[in-house]
Structure 1
């Protein structure tokens, strides 16, 4: 069913942007890092599945998006930490994301929202720390943008600027994913 109103078009475009940016990042990072490519691919599939299933608030679609968030973002952080020798933080982030994904069925909607936002912020902060110490400018921008996404999602306002809050969060997540894609590329070039 085609979107009818401005709000539905805005939502559809934000999901499409997130899916396309994440898919491009997955394809272009597959050679350098399979883990990060899998994280980007999970983001792309979650956004595409919501688009394909309609823009309603189907609980299964939202649960799938949540599970993709708590797995895909730790996969991105895993690569940043692993390449820089911080294997314990890499494993801790990825393991925590996997536990949250499995436990998601036992959490209420509000608990899932808080856990998802916590994952976004923890990933943003840890990648930002690594990016600062390795002077990876794209990683710094990615951390700042992803951190902004986490903070925006906690605001009580229903709309930010002329767009709904969730759409703004998806646009910033797409921008952060693009920056992380560039940061991963720069990081792997530095270590070659």
Structure 2
């Protein structure tokens, strides 16, 4: 029973991440549909993880499916955000390279070990956040720079070998960082859209 508050905090942070991503998907649908699809994938993965926690007392289990869904949402969702950001700025070649690499990686899910999945997820987060950071620096998009730095912190947190950070579980802190990064990224897309108009 001692672990219940920590589990509740992780589940509630997952619901918060899902709500932020779902709102971002709705708000960016008219700006760029690729970015909206990236937000939607992340929202579905976060909500599936939270629902899995709430269904466990009922005897239902989504553990295996939620891990695969989380990995695919990371490998496809973040590159879709990067795709939308680069496409909106006219950098079509980088946008296509990000999306093509993500699709190739996502199709090989069953052939990759757990360590390989963790390394691939970290690589996707780092590559996507660096390309967003470079483009944000050139376009002077402060929200894009902030989103990139927060996503990089989330990528670094994935590699930390600890169960808890301060008093929260690692999953809760990761969900909070991803929610802040996705919110900043939504503002970056809006700023870029208004600057181009």
Deviating more after overlay: 165-174 vs 47-56 = 47-56
Deviation at 1:157, TM superposition (A): 2.2
Q: Does 2:173 correspond to 1:174?
A: no
Higher RCO (C-alpha under 8 Å, 6+ residues apart): 2
Regions of 4+ moved over 6 Å: none
Return the alpha-carbon distance in structure 1 between the equivalents of residues 9 and 37 of structure 2: 27
Unmatched 5+ stretches in structure 1: none
- TM-score for both structures, normalised by structure 1: 0.94
8 Å contact kept, 1:26–1:40: yes
Cα-to-partner distance string for 1:22-41 (whole Å, 9 max, x where unaligned) = 00000000111111111101
Instruction: Give me the CA root mean square deviation.
Output: 1.4
Equivalent position of 2:134 in the other structure? 129
Return the alpha-carbon distance in structure 2 between the equivalents of residues 108 and 114 of structure 1: 10
What are the equivalent positions in structure 2 for 1:42-121 lying under 5 Å apart? Answer: 42-54=41-53, 58-121=63-126
- TM-score for both structures, normalised by structure 2: 0.92
Return the alpha-carbon distance in structure 2 between the equivalents of residues 155 and 68 of structure 1: 20
8 Å contact kept, 1:153–1:166: no
Q: Give the counterpart of 1:143 among 124, 139, 148.
A: 148
Cα-to-partner distance string for 1:123-148 (whole Å, 9 max, x where unaligned) = 11110111111000100000000000
Equivalent position of 2:158 in the other structure? 153
Return the alpha-carbon distance in structure 2 between the equivalents of residues 157 and 15 of structure 1: 19
Equivalent position of 1:21 in the other structure? 20
Deviating more after overlay: 80-89 vs 97-106 = 80-89
Unmatched 5+ stretches in structure 2: 57-61
